[in-house]
Amino acid sequence: MSRSAVERPVKPLVSISAGELMARSFPERQYVIDPWLRTGETALVWAASGVGKTMLSLSLAMAMATGGSAGPWKSDRPCSVLYIDGEMHQQDIRDRLIMLQETKAVTIGPDATLGDKLFFVNRQGQDPEATFYDLTTEDGQAALLDMCQAVGAEVLILDNFTTLSEGLEDENASTSFKAIQGFLLTTKQIGLTTILVHHARKDGHAFRGSASIEVTFEVVLELQKPAIARVGGASFVPQFRKFRQKTDERLLPRTWSLTDDGWEVSDEVVAGEDDPVVLCLRSLDFISQQEIAKHLGMSKGTVSKRLTKAIEMKVISRDDASECLASARRIREQPEAIGLETEAEDDQSSDY
C-alpha cells in the first residue's frame, strides 16, 4: 500500500482463461461485519445529520478491532482498523468511545483489548500547518494509503465524505467522482476493506452528490430516521439499498436506539411503504406469507408480525393484503389469460 498504488499503472494488464479461473482456489473471505461486509469490500453508509451514523461507525470500528459485536452484527475476528475523522474534536471521540464501552453498546471479543487494533487520525488533532487528507487528489490518496500501511490497517473508515473531499469541484457531476472511484477500486485491489460515511441531501431522500459513486460499492446502507425517534440519542432504521449477498433476518429494517444500556435493537419497526413485506405483497409475485418469508430469509412469524404492524399503521389494509395474495395466485394459475386480458385493456386504452 505505497504511493504507487494510486498512481497510473505501469504494469501490463493480464488475462485469465475461464478454465484457469474456474480451477483457481481463493482464500475464504471472512466477515469483518457479519452478515453484510467481507474482507476487501467497500460500503457506503449515509444518513441525515443527527441520526447516528458516527455512533454506528464507531461501534462497528470497536467491534471489528476486537472481534466483537454491535447489535446483531459481529466480526469474525479482531482486525486492525484505521478511522479517519474530518471534523470532530479528539475529546468528543474519546467520550463517545468511553460511553460505547461503558454502556456495553459494543460487546468486546474474548481476549481482546480495544487499544491494540483501533487507530484514529482526526483533523482536529493535527497541527494547523499540516495538510489533511483529501480524497480528490493523488497526494491525499497516497498519504492515506501510506498511513494504512504504517498501522497495518485491514479496515479503513472515512468519516465523512464531505470533510475529506475539499477538492471536489461539483458534487452533483458524475465526472467529479472519478478520482474517488479510482481510489475505492484501489482499496479493493489491495484487500483493504473500506467504509465511507456520507451525508443525506437536504430532502433526506438520497445521499449528497452524484449517484454514480454508488456503482463502486458492494453495500449501500441508509440509516433512516424512525417515525418515532428516541429523544436525545442516536436512533435509526438501517435500510440496505444495495447488497450483493444472500440476505437474512439480521439485515431486516429494525429500529436501533442508543440507550444507557447500549444499543437497543427492536423488531417493532414503524412500518412504511418500503417495508420489505409490504413490497413483496404489492409485487403480486408471492402467493403466501410462507413464500415471502423464504424470499426475505426470515421466519413466517416475523412476516406475520411485520404485516400486522403495517396494517396497524394503515400502510396497507387487511383486505388489500389478502387481495394481493389472491391476485398473485390467479396470475400464477392463469398467466396466459392474465396476459391476454392486460393486452386487451392496453388496446382499448390506446383506441380511446
Please list the alpha-helical segments (H only) found in 27-169.
Answer: 53-66, 90-102, 138-151
Q: In the chain, which segments carry CATH 3.40.50.300?
A: 30-266
Handedness of CA 253, 254, 255, 256 (dihedral sign): negative
Closest among 244, 251, 316 to 283, alpha carbons compared? 316
Q: H or E element: which one contains 289?
A: helix 289-296
Dist CA 6 CA 10 (whole Å)? 11
Percent of the chain with pLDDT over 70: 86
The contacts of residue 72 (CB under 8 Å, 6+ apart) are 250, 265
Least confident of 211-220, 280-289, 333-342: 333-342
Closest among 151, 157, 220 to 187, alpha carbons compared? 157
pLDDT tens digits, 171-192: 766 666 788 889 999 999 999 9
Mean pLDDT, residues 216-232: 82
Query: Residue 324: what residue type?
Result: C
pLDDT tens digits, 251-264: 878 889 999 889 99
Chain mean pLDDT for the chain: 85
Closest among 172, 167, 175 to 139, alpha carbons compared? 167
For cell 487528489, the residue is 137
Dist CA 236 CA 257 (whole Å)? 7
Handedness of CA 259, 261, 265, 269 (dihedral sign): negative
For the cut 80, the answer to whether the pLDDT of residue 269 exceeds it is no
Q: H or E element: which one contains 155?
A: strand 155-159
Chain length of the chain? 352
CATH 3.40.50.300, applies to 30-266: yes
**pLDDT value, residue 4:** 44
- The pLDDT confidence band at residue 7, using thresholds 50, 70 and 90, is low
pTM of the model: 0.76
Q: H or E element: which one contains 69?
A: strand 69-70
For the cut 50, the answer to whether the pLDDT of residue 232 exceeds it is yes
pLDDT tens digits, 8-65: 557 898 999 999 999 999 888 889 999 999 999 999 999 988 899 999 999 999 999 9
Dist CA 148 CA 133 (whole Å)? 12
φ and ψ at residue 223, rounded to 5 degrees: -105, 105
Angle at CA 191, nearest 5°, toward 22 and 16? 30
- Here the cell at position 208 is 449528497
pLDDT tens digits, 101-149: 999 999 988 878 888 899 999 999 999 999 999 999 999 999 999 999 9
For the cut 60, the answer to whether the pLDDT of residue 339 exceeds it is no
Q: Do 73 and 240 form a contact (C-beta atoms < 8 A)?
A: no
Dist CA 246 CA 244 (whole Å)? 7
- The pLDDT confidence band at residue 230, using thresholds 50, 70 and 90, is low
